[in-house]
Structure formats: structure tokens, C-alpha cells
Amino acid sequence: MPADPALRDALLHDTAACLGKDYLQQLVTSLARLTGAPLVFISRQHWLPRRESEVLFASHPDHPGRYTLAGTPCADILQQARALQIDSSVNQQFAAEHHTRWQAYAGWPLLAEDGQCLGHLALFDDRSGQLPDGLLAALAPFVQRATAELRRLQHESALSQRASWDALYSSILRQYIQGQPLASLLEAVVRQVEQRLPGWLCSIVRIDAEQRLRPLVGPSLPADYHALIDGLAIGPTVGSCGAAAWHRKRLIAEDLQQHPNWAPYRDITRRFGLGSCWSEPLMDGRGKVHGTFAVYHRTPASPTPEAIIVIEDVSRLLGILFENHATQQALDSRTQWYQAMLQNAADAISIIDMDGRLLDASDSLCKLLGYSQTELRQLRLWDLVAHRSEAELRQQLQNASEQGETFDSLNRTRDGDIIEVEVSVRRLLLDGQPVIWGSARDIRQRKQQERLLREQATVDSLTGLLNRPTLLAALDQQLARALGDGGAMTLLMLDLDHFKQVNDCYGHACGDAALAHFASQLQQQLGPHDHAGRLGGEEFCILLPGCPPERAQAIAQALLQTMRAQPLLFDRQQIALTASIGLTQRLPGDDSRSLLARADMALYQAKHAGRNCTVMLPPP
């Protein structure tokens, strides 16, 4: 197995040019090859229906996939959030590893920003005593990079999942407006939830006029089980659904064999293999309980915050469907139903004629835009839509279909503010005349969250500079552009001198302040087309497209002068900071790896020359 410096250098060579998923896969593949370990993988942690680990990237296709953490060295890594190395007899130290071929193990936690474990990097070896001393520390920089990449992938996954759920809810509501039967929509909701969340066994129960449970949908639960609960009267201690409906709030029974509400039904739950049940009441805007949405698991299970969000969102959607269905059944005529839906719908609804006039509008639309009913009826569609011309909107009205469509729009309020909305439109006949039925939903909060997640995925949170993956991507883009036009480009690698001493003498809070202070000084030297980022720790990089070496040298010297003139003020103390700077210019045939390697070499020479200076690496 290579010595620590050789291992680090080889890993850096293999992974320096990789980004995102490619970096994580290359890391485990190279680490296995360089160490001779039969299996290296990166996992993420799951909690439902039991605490498990899911392998995301592995050096070999013969990996455990998704496995229970209890009794494994991986569990210790995730519980204690610290790296662990076992050099021999690992299969004797952990219950779950008995009778396996593994003898040695090394693992590193991959931590979220709040300190919780996202997952881990694990190395398994079937040889004893082959893992070198210092392996845990040697891989620390690569683990830090892997953590950042995993965080970014998680942010992207959260955005994608949120968009997927929103699309499902919009589709269900659109189908309901188009007249799809309630029973088929309830079935579709449950099947979609179970498909997206394996291990969830969902059911929808209606509360009838006598306050009894009437199962409606539960495709993954036995029909005999539904038959046993059909007709049970709700009550304060009646299982999960009966109690949730009675108390009008969520009831979580994590273990059906232990929860007091399930004491009379424990034999039933054992017979049907049910371990937990979380139930949410389905209430309308007036507080009436129409039913419950329940999630069962085969084993005892506790909901995560993410699971609670799903349960609340699904229950809100089902509550709207039940409320509107009840309203429809209670009204005497279609005209009364139309008016009740229009004025009581949660979404902002309007009826628009083919000339763009607002014939009718819901109270929620008036509230959203700040107009009265009378004022809205005096407006045309193009008075309210901020980003489309009258001609474009007239064309869209003519092209609207009976099948309907959903899109994002910008609407103008009475006060002149611009708000982001999701709009669903459908052409229909009203009293024999074609009109457009439209519903709008305020999505400002969702869009703001999406923008925040995108920023978190590209910006270093401490310094406000680009993070490593984003900076490397910008370098690749600029190199491709320079290759086409032959333009100049200079790359600077910067490192704060004696940064460890700042941390040791003044504490990590001062170290963070020093990094942010340096980033602020660095940004003062940048032009509008320059890029600056933090590569990790106290190391930074500046990309200067179209910049000749002379100007880059002047920028570097100006930065050092600024640092001398503006020391860090921390806790009433002045702390002098200096930096070492290595510079190199783009040469024909350069790629990002070669350019970074030369800049890093120049930085090394600047440090060797005594620090607090710049070194421009001459062309070869």
C-alpha cells in the first residue's frame, strides 16, 4: 500500500478534474485501486422503516446495496460522527460482521452543516494489518470534498423532490377540476405516495355522519384488516385514526405493541404484521374533520421531519378534495356549486372571457392581488400579467385547450408589486360561451427557497465566494472559451500564511473571521468578469479571463498591500495577515488539471521563498 504522501498525490491526480457524482465515483474507485481494498463505498443514511445505510457509489458492483446499520462499524461512524480505523479482526468486534471475510476497516463520516451525519465513506479489507498509520488523517481533505459534493447532491435532490410533489398535487387538483371521480383520485394519491416512499402502507378513511370510520383506500393493506376497522366509532383512545379524528390533530403510534391506544387491537396488528401507524386528520377550512390519512409500517418506526412534511402536504390536498366534494354534493344546482367553489376555493380562481375580461373572481384572488370584486371586473388580463404583451395573451386565450395546462407567471398587484404565481387554465363552456377557467397559487415562498438552495449549492457559506465545484466548472468554461478565441488567462492560487497559528492563538471564531476578512479584501481587486473561490481551508483561487501576466501581478501586489494596510480587527485586537500567491498563465494545450497544477507549484515556490510574496511561474 502506498505511503500517505504518495496516496494523497495519487488520489489528487485521479480526482482533481472531477465534479459532482463523477468525483465521488472516482474517489472510491481510485481509493480501492491504490490501497488494494476489495470494497470502498460512499453511503447515505436512511431512517425509515428502520435505520439503514444506502450505498450510493462503490468501487465494486458486489456491494451490500441497502443494509441495516445495527451492529456494524458503520453504525459507530454515524453515531459518533468521527473517523474510525480497525486494523484486524473487524468481524469479531461487530455483531453484524460475524462470518464475513472482512478483517480491517476504515470509515469517515460525511457531515451536514448542522453536524448530523449525511452518510459515510467506508473501506473494507480482507487482510489484517495492511492499513497504514495515518490513513484517517491522510484522506481528510478528500473526505471534506466528498462531504461538499454530497451536500450539493442532497440540495439538488430536495429541489427535485419538492418540484415532483408540487407537480403531483397540481395534477390531482387539475384532474378534479376537470371532473375526475373522487375515488379514482384518492387511489392515485395513495399509490403515488407508496411508489415514492417504499415501506409506506397508506390508507384513507372517511368519517361518516355517525362519526364512524369508513375505509376508502388502502391498496397495500389487507381487505380483512379494513373490514375489522370498518364502522368503529372514533374516540380519544381508538387506535391512531379514531384518536386523530377525535382530537383533530396528528397521532403517532411508533410501536403498535406498546402504544396504549392500540392495546385492544394488538392481536389484530400482530396477525396482519403491522408495526406502527401515523395518522393525520383531514380537515377543511372551517375545521370539519372529513377523514384521516394514515401511514403504516411493518416494523416500529418514527417519522422524520421530511416525512411529517409529506404527511401534512398530502393531508392538505386530501382535505381540499373532501371539502370540495362535500360542497358539491350539498348544493342544489350546478350554478350554486360553481359559485361556492369560486368563492371558497383555497386557490385564487377567475373566469375570463375570450376578450380578456374578468367575468368573475374568487375572494382569494381579490386578496392575492389587492383588488375588490368591482375593480377586477373593470380590468383585462393584460392589466394583471406583468411579463406578457396584450397580443401574446390574446393568442394564449385562443389556444387554451379543454385538457388544460399549468405554468408559472408574474402577476401585478394593485400596489404595483410583482408576485410569482403558478397558474392552471382550462377552456370550457359557460352558458354556451367559451371562457377560460383559471386558478392561481402564490409560489413566492417556494421560489425563494429554490433560489436559496441554488445559492447554497454554488457559494461558500463562510466567505461568500464561489465554492470549489462551481469555481472548477467556471475554469473549464473559461478554458473552452479561451481555446476558441486564443485569449489570455491568468490563474492565481492563494494561501493565508500561518493560518493554523491564528486558530491556535485566537480560536476558530477568529480563524473564520480571518477567512471572511481575506475574502472581502480579495473581492476588492476583482473585475466584473473575474472569478474567485475558496478551494478549501485557507486556500483560495482567482481566475482572471483576458488578463495578461503583468496585470495579474499588479492585482496580486495590490492585494498584499491591502492586507498590510487593513489588518483584521477581532475582539479589540489587530491581527496582521499575509498571504502567499502563485500565478500562472494559460498556455496552448492547457486543461484545468495542468493549469491548476502549475498554479499550485507557483504557490509552493512563494511559500518556500518566505511567504507574503508572489511568484509567477515562467513558461516552460
Taken in order 92, 97, 102, 108, the sign of the CA dihedral is negative
Domains of the chain: 4-148 (3.30.450.40), 181-330 (3.30.450.40), 334-445 (3.30.450.20), 459-616 (3.30.70.270)
Dist. CA 556–CA 547, nearest whole Å: 12
Residue 335 in this model has a pLDDT that exceeds 60: no
Pairwise pLDDT comparison (348 vs 12), residue with the higher score:
12
pLDDT tens figures, 219-244: 999 999 999 999 999 999 999 999 99
Give Cβ neighbours of residue 573 (< 8 Å, ≥ 6 apart). Answer: 506
**Percentage of the chain exceeding pLDDT 70:** 92
Q: Which three cell numbers stand for residue 503?
A: 486558530
Closest Cα partner for 413 from 386, 395, 436?
386
pLDDT tens figures, 513-524: 999 999 999 999
Helices (H) and strands (E) in the chain, counts: 21, 23
pLDDT tens figures, 381-405: 888 888 888 888 888 888 888 888 8
Q: Which of 50-64, 77-91, 137-151, 289-303 has the lowest mean pLDDT?
A: 50-64
Average pLDDT of the segment spanning 155-168: 75
Dist. CA 22–CA 145, nearest whole Å: 12
Beta bridge partners of 40: 123
Confidence of residue 316 (pLDDT cuts 50, 70, 90): confident
Q: Which residues of 344-369 are buried (b: 16+ CB within 10 A; e: fewer)?
A: bbbbbbbbbbeebebebbbebbbebb
Could you say which DSSP state residue 114 is in? T
pLDDT tens figures, 467-501: 888 888 888 888 888 765 567 889 999 999 999 99
Confidence of residue 63 (pLDDT cuts 50, 70, 90): confident
Q: Residue length, the chain?
A: 620
Q: Say how many C-beta atoms besides its own lie within 10 A of residue 38's C-beta.
A: 16
Residue 68 in this model has a pLDDT that exceeds 80: no
Confidence of residue 334 (pLDDT cuts 50, 70, 90): very low
Only one residue has cell 478551494, namely: 535
Alpha-carbon torsion, ordered 599, 605, 609, 615, to 10 deg: -30
pLDDT of residue 333: 40
**Percentage of the chain exceeding pLDDT 90:** 39
Dist. CA 574–CA 159, nearest whole Å: 43
pLDDT of residue 49: 46
Pairwise pLDDT comparison (275 vs 441), residue with the higher score:
275
Residue 350 in this model has a pLDDT that exceeds 70: yes
pLDDT of residue 332: 41
Residue 48 in this model has a pLDDT that exceeds 60: no
pLDDT of residue 99: 65
pLDDT of residue 3: 54
Q: Which of 118-127, 180-189, 340-349 has the lowest mean pLDDT?
A: 340-349
Confidence of residue 603 (pLDDT cuts 50, 70, 90): very high
Q: Which three cell numbers stand for residue 157?
A: 435532490
Q: Which of 29-38, 157-166, 446-455, 541-550 has the lowest mean pLDDT?
A: 446-455
Average of per-residue pLDDT values in the chain: 85
Confidence of residue 456 (pLDDT cuts 50, 70, 90): low
pLDDT tens figures, 93-119: 666 666 678 889 999 999 888 777 888
Average pLDDT of the segment spanning 563-581: 92
Residue 161 in this model has a pLDDT that exceeds 50: yes
- Helix (H) or strand (E) run with residue 419 in it: strand 418-430
DSSP of 549-591: HHHHHHHHHHHHHHHHHS-EEETTEEE---EEEEEEE--TT--
Dihedrals phi, psi of 393, to nearest 5 degrees:
-70, -35
Q: Say how many C-beta atoms besides its own lie within 10 A of residue 172's C-beta.
A: 21
Pairwise pLDDT comparison (170 vs 615), residue with the higher score:
615
Q: Which of 367-381, 446-460, 531-545, 580-594 has the lowest mean pLDDT?
A: 446-460
Q: Edge-to-edge strand order for the sheet containing 276-283? A: 213-217, 201-207, 289-297, 276-283, 251-253
Q: Which three cell numbers stand for residue 546?
A: 483576458
